[in-house]
Amino acid sequence: VVGVDEAGRGPLAGPVVAAAAIVPTNIEGVIDSKKITKEEDRERLYEELVSSPGIRYAVAIVSAQRIDEINILQATLEGMRMAVQGVMDMDSYYFALIDGNKIPKDMPCSSESITKGDGREYSIGAASIIAKVTRDRLMHEYDAKYPEYNLKQHKGYPTVAHMSAVRKHGASLIHRRTFAPLK
């Protein structure tokens, strides 16, 4: 079973990141990444997951520009499909459990969507953590490139500080220009 989830649908800046994971062993504490409040705890679980024997995972990063071209929902579904394709072997059969209520078009395997699946299915929870940590690390890299936005602090979400920086400096190349506060 392939667990599939995303991180970064709500921010005004940065990509949406989808992850697909096949995790043969259970690691204690793997749940929906949004329920893990400390970044260091997510980082620790991420390292345990990606180094666990037999794990297969793939990440797909969909840029802010692509999000603006096709909208956040379609960008999320595109990322999920690409992540699932990244973990599949041609000679194996897979079934994907996808967090949410939509299944991407052209999925390369049979799939089922599960609302709040990241808290109900272990493999989706694992994908949730992988996607979230990958995106957070990218936002730290973007913070070095665009320090005036303090992206490492809010990860691109529309906080008061972020909105103030956007008003002062304008939108950067990684901002989603089709999102309401930036239109």
Q: Which is it for the CA torsion 25, 81, 172, 179, positive or negative?
A: negative
Q: 136 a known binding residue?
A: no
Q: 121 a known binding residue?
A: no
Q: How many other CB atoms are found less than 10 A from the CB of residue 177?
A: 13
Separation of alpha carbons 42 and 36, rounded Å: 6
Q: 99 a known binding residue?
A: yes
* Phi and psi at residue 157, to the nearest 5°: -70, 155
Q: Decide if 113 contacts 102 (C-beta within 8 A).
A: yes
| β-sheet with 110-114: strand ranges across | 56-62, 16-22, 2-7, 95-99, 110-114
- State the binding site: 5-6, 99
- State the binding site for a divalent metal cation: 5-6, 99
